[in-house]
Structure 1
Amino acid sequence: MSDSTPRSSRAQQRIDTQERILTAARRLFAEVGYDRTTIRAVAAAAQVDAGLVMHYYRSKEQLFALATRTEMPSVTGETAEEIAEQLLDRLRQSLIDEPIGSLAALRSMLTRPDAAAEVRGNAHADRVKVSKAIPGDDGDLRAAVISAVLIGVVVGRHLVKLDQLADADPEEIVELLRPAVLSLTKADPT
């Protein structure tokens, strides 16, 4: 009797195991932060031996760095109006789909300089683009305030689980913030 399901190659099994470990690490770093996440806990969650975690990732620091690395799509708009809408769309998506890698960095950013650097790095490219689209001399400050507000809303919803915010409809949150984001970008709210 032959088995009709193809067997995974060793290389594919290794890739699958590494991804399982990384997924477990992201979840644990997001749930309990860097300090309370252990290699043993990651291994147990990924259903592998702790030695295998160390074999693939070398250290907790390297595992954390990979688990919190996120690729955010760049803001591509040219006008303040386009950028405001793109930022609000991104916020909407972050409220709907829990951005686990970003949450891992956000949970640990106050105690881990590398996590704070990851959060700053992700926000920096957008801040530059947003700042350029805002007329006037205070574009940098306005862009930084927008970034802080959007980060705060995501943290409040997913990590702090603030009353009302945690269960609110993402569309309602975005609509409440729309006038503020449009005002901060000096976009024409037409």
Structure 2
Amino acid sequence: MTTHPTTRADRRRATEARILACARELFAAKGFDRTTIRAVAASAGVDPALVMQYFGSKRELFTRAVQASPAPAPAADGKALLDHLLTGLGVKLGGLPDGARAMLRSMLTDPAAASHVREGLDEQIAGIGRALAAGAAGDEGHSHGQAPDPDPDADLRAALIVTTMVGATLGHQLLGLSALRDVPADRITALLRPALEALVRPAG
């Protein structure tokens, strides 16, 4: 049996969630510039003034609509990290969430969207870089029984890993490149595994 919100706070949260869900769909389909508050309100079945009351502006609505849960911290072990990265890529290739699709569609035309994407990718690169450095430190420490030198390329390798995955995601999900469009996600991740494995390992 379906339960309905009973208190005013419950009803407000339910309405807010419905507005956000409709906004994600519209931002994903049209991008930031061509999505209007009026269209979001109509899709959610509310007055445009209520959308503004809840979110203040289209910019704030967009920011809330595309927020994503933080990814789990990658493991320091090289194979575990690689498996984590390829699993995440496989999920994206299987179909981007509306919020992520909206952000990627808008980032080339909207500076705030580009900044939001950049910040998110910088955080991801930093996390992977720390994991790569920790993995390299563990390997060196076990091999030589002494404190290893820091890996100067950990962040660069992390950036190359992330941008490779972003490129594959954009080509497959947003651009629909003919060579990628109909290829199963597991085939793409299998072919990318050796390249990413080379980046996970410290350069000799």
Match of 2:120 among 119, 122, 126: 122
Q: In the alignment, residue 143 of structure 1 is paired with which amino acid?
A: A
Find runs of 4+ consecutive structure 1 residues off by over 3 angstroms: 4-7
Amino acid at match of 2:181: A
What fraction of aligned residue pairs are identical, expressed as a percent? 40
Aligned to 2:168: 153
Shift of 1:97: 3.8
Contact 2:24 2:102 in 1 (8 A): yes
Partner of 1:50: 48
How big is the shift at 1:49?
1.7
- Report what 1:173 is aligned to: 188
Corresponding residue of 2:148: none
Distance in 2, matches of 1:138 and 1:95, equals 28
Kindly tell me: are residues 7 and 64 of structure 1, through their superposed partners in 2, closer, same or farther at Cα, counting changes over 3 Å? Answer: closer
Letter in 2 for 1:8: P
Runs of 5+ consecutive residues of structure 1 not aligned to the other structure: none
After TM superposition, the structure 1 stretch with the greater mean CA deviation from structure 2, 75-84 or 58-67, is: 75-84
8 A Cα contact 1:106 1:119, kept in partner: yes
Unaligned runs of at least 5 residues, structure 2: 137-150
The alpha carbon displacement at 1:6 in A equals: 5.7
- Work out whether residues 92 and 171 of structure 1, in 8 Å CA contact, stay in contact via their aligned partners in 2: yes
Looking at CA atoms only, which structure, 1 or 2, has the larger radius of gyration? Answer: 2
User: Pairwise mapping of residues 10-159 of structure 1 onto structure 2 (< 5 A)?
Assistant: 10-132=8-130, 133=132, 135=136, 136-159=151-174
Is residue 5–residue 14 contact of structure 2 (8 Å, CA) maintained in 1?
Answer: no
Q: CA 1:76 to 1:142, structure 2 compared with 1: closer, same or farther past 3 Å?
A: closer
2:3 and 2:173 map into 1 onto residues whose CA distance is 40
Aligned length: 184
Query: TM-score, structure 2 length as denominator?
Result: 0.81
Give distance in 2, aligned partners of 1:86 and 1:123.
16
Q: Identify the residue that residue 143 of structure 2 maps to in structure 1.
A: none
User: What is the CA–CA distance in structure 2 between the aligned matches of 1:162 and 1:45, rounded to whole Å?
Assistant: 31
Q: For the aligned residues, what is the CA RMSD? A: 2.0
Structure 1 residues 17 and 131, CA, compared in 2 at 3 Å: closer, same or farther? same
Instruction: State the AA in 2 paired with 1:128.
Output: A
